[in-house]
């Protein structure tokens, strides 16, 4: 991407949103003290989002389905599926809606703007020679973490999936931007391994800085626990199973966070409280906001999206076991609508990372390492979560690696649906998915789209504005996924 383009875009964002850029009156100041940078880092780097980041990714998973009602079954012939049609069908150009109108993907600009802000503020904060109360050290750790977070999402949306170290040395990731000022430069992709090495380096540095800095002890600021979790993700992506196991174990042991209990989950259900709330002791880090869900809150619209029946069936009450996630994660009266974080009374931000993931990351690493002891550890980790989610007979046990892998993957899908895991897991696990899409005027017929295992459409097209401005950056060729009409 043309660096000048997104730096200028960043400047406009700052001029519109920040109080720290220029001295005009008593309400506007230039940041001269660490406390000013503290506010700026929180407001512009940590908290600020457009609300639509990664919103489309759920539509490429098996957790959403297309629904069309017959004429006699709907009060409105409105079709609300247009915007995400290209993602749901894994179209060659995923940025075209149902009417073939262009809808530019904003994730690229959002995360690269965040990276550039981190670079600039890291340079500015580093200029302070004194570090009263270790604030400078903490801020540098927060900036380093947020930069790694941005690269993690970028490389897993627009880069090639990681196969092994030799493949990653040749495969293409995303551009690396180290700029701290305006330069006219056309960007090309770095190698995939270079991006992963950069993320790991930033996360390890963030851990050291956050440990040495003043302790905010808040889930609303980047912290050591969040850095541990993202490192475990990076190690899983690279199939570094032993490192992933150790990092997850360190997080579980040192964080002080606990799996949210069955009792508390039941209280949330009874009082209409979402999983993402500041009483939930499993949350490690919380940032940003999301737009309201594009999934329908009503089944009266002729064409709409719902939580897939396939996902809902996983929570069905069986014999002596009742999985309370069916009502904790979805609307009690509208089970086709997720409610983990969509609420009018928010006490927590909408992007949250929880300790439960560390247990499942360790379980995955143990299963892939193999051996009786590791499989037993994996099942203990899985059952630690199930114990706090299922009334009655919750326990699952097996010594077979294939069966353990199936249980772990299903458990992760159930526990982290509509968070930020499923699409990235589908990519790295090479899961094949089939989607049916019905025409509004022919609800009984459906076109069939298949995302085959290892499909090139696992990689999203570059945003349209990037394609228009940068003719040197590589854009991966996508394929047709329609198999029958």
| 383, 427 Cβ separation under 8 angstroms | no
**Structure confidence by residue, pLDDT tens digits, 270-303:** 988 899 998 999 999 999 888 878 887 666 788 9
Q: What is the mean pLDDT of residues 226-250?
A: 98
φ, ψ for residue 62, nearest 5 deg: -95, 15
Q: Tell whether the model's pLDDT for residue 3 goes beyond 60.
A: no
Give the closest residue to 369 by CA, choosing from 186, 223, 236, 206. Answer: 236
| 83, 294 Cβ separation under 8 angstroms | yes
Q: Tell whether the model's pLDDT for residue 442 goes beyond 90.
A: no
Q: Tell whether the model's pLDDT for residue 205 goes beyond 90.
A: yes
Mean predicted lDDT score pLDDT of the chain? 89
**Structure confidence by residue, pLDDT tens digits, 320-359:** 899 999 999 998 777 788 888 776 556 888 899 999 999 9
Burial, 43: exposed, middle or buried (Cβ in 10 Å; 0-12, 13-18, 19+)? middle
Kindly give, in sequence order, each residue whose CB lies less than 8 Å from that of residue 338, ignoring residues fewer than 6 positions away: 293, 295, 307, 329, 330, 331, 417, 418
| pLDDT score for 475 | 94
More confident residue, 3 or 243: 243
Mapping DSSP onto H, E and C, the string for 6-52 reads HHHHHHHHHHHHCCCCCCCCCCCCCCCCHHHHHHHHHHHHHHCCCCC
| 245, 362 Cβ separation under 8 angstroms | yes
Considering the chain, what percentage of its residues have pLDDT values greater than 90? Answer: 72
| pLDDT score for 22 | 39
**Structure confidence by residue, pLDDT tens digits, 376-390:** 999 999 999 999 999
**Structure confidence by residue, pLDDT tens digits, 449-462:** 999 999 999 999 99
State the pTM of this model. 0.92
| pLDDT score for 184 | 73
Q: What is the mean pLDDT of residues 164-178?
A: 97
Rounded Cα gap, residues 185 and 348, in angstroms: 39
Q: Tell whether the model's pLDDT for residue 309 goes beyond 50.
A: yes
| pLDDT score for 85 | 97
pLDDT band (50, 70, 90) for residue 75: low
| pLDDT score for 222 | 97
Considering the chain, what percentage of its residues have pLDDT values greater than 70? Answer: 91
| pLDDT score for 93 | 94
Q: What is the mean pLDDT of residues 161-177?
A: 97
Rounded Cα gap, residues 64 and 54, in angstroms: 15
Kindly give, in sequence order, each residue whose CB lies less than 8 Å from that of residue 321, ignoring residues fewer than 6 positions away: 390, 391, 392, 393, 394
Give the closest residue to 350 by CA, choosing from 173, 466, 193, 219. Answer: 219
Of 126-135, 288-297, 462-471, the range with the lowest mean pLDDT is: 288-297
DSSP letters of 275-296?
SSSTT-TTEEEEE---PPPSS-
What is the four-CA torsion angle of 123, 126, 128, 129, rounded to 10 degrees? -140
| pLDDT score for 133 | 87
pLDDT band (50, 70, 90) for residue 77: confident
More confident residue, 61 or 316: 61
Q: What is the mean pLDDT of residues 40-61?
A: 91
β strands within 57-131, DSSP E: 64-68, 76-79
pLDDT band (50, 70, 90) for residue 366: very high
More confident residue, 137 or 76: 137
Of 25-29, 122-126, 195-199, the range with the lowest mean pLDDT is: 25-29
C-alpha count within 13 angstroms, C-beta hemisphere, residue 116: 23
CA-atom Rg of the chain in angstroms: 23
| pLDDT score for 20 | 36
| pLDDT score for 29 | 55
């Amino acid at each position: 991407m043309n660096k000048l383009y997104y730096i200028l875009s960043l400047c406009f964002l700052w001029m519109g949103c920040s109080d720290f850029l220029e001295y005009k009156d008593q309400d506007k100041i230039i940041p001269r003290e660490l406390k000013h940078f503290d506010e700026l880092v929180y407001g512009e780097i940590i908290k600020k989002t457009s609300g639509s980041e990664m919103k489309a990714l759920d539509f490429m998973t098996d957790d959403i389905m297309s629904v069309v009602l017959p004429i006699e079954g709907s009060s409105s012939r409105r079709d609300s599926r247009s915007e995400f049609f290209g993602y749901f069908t894994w179209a060659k150009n995923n940025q075209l809606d149902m009417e073939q109108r262009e809808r530019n993907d904003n994730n690229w600009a959002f995360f690269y703007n965040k990276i550039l802000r981190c670079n600039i503020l890291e340079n500015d904060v580093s200029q302070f020679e004194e570090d009263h109360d270790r604030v400078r050290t903490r801020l540098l750790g927060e900036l380093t973490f947020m930069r790694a977070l941005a690269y993690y999402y970028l490389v897993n949306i627009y880069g090639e999936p990681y196969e092994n170290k030799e493949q990653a040395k040749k495969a293409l990731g995303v551009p690396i931007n180290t700029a701290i000022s305006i330069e006219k430069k056309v960007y090309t992709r770095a190698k995939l391994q270079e991006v992963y090495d950069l993320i790991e380096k930033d996360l390890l540095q963030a851990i050291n800085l956050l440990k040495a800095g003043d302790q905010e002890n808040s889930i609303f600021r980047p912290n050591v626990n969040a850095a541990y979790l993202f490192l475990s993700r990076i190690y899983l992506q690279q199939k570094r199973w032993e490192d992933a196991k150790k990092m997850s174990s360190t997080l579980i042991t040192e964080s002080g966070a606990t799996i949210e209990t069955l009792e508390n989950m039941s209280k949330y259900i009874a009082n209409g409280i979402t999983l993402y709330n500041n009483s939930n002791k499993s949350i490690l880090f919380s940032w940003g906001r999301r737009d309201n869900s594009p999934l329908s809150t009503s089944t009266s619209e002729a064409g709409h999206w719902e939580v897939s029946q396939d996902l809902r069936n996983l929570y069905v009450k069986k014999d002596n076991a009742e999985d309370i996630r069916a009502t904790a994660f979805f609307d009690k009266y509208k089970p086709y609508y997720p409610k983990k974080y969509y609420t009018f009374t928010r006490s927590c931000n909408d992007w949250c990372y929880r300790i439960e993931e560390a247990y499942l990351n360790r379980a995955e690493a143990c299963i892939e390492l193999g051996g009786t002891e590791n499989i037993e550890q994996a099942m203990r980790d899985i059952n630690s979560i199930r114990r706090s989610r299922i009334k009655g007979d919750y326990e699952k046990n097996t010594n077979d690696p294939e069966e353990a892998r199936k249980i772990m993957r299903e458990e992760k899908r159930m526990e982290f649906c509509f968070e930020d895991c499923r699409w990235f897991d589908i990519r790295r696990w090479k899961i094949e998915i089939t989607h049916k899409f019905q025409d509004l005027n022919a609800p009984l017929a459906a076109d069939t789209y298949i995302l085959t295992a290892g499909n090139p459409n696992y990689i999203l097209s570059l945003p349209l504005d990037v394609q228009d401005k940068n003719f040197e950056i590589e854009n991966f060729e996508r394929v047709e996924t329609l198999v029958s009409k």
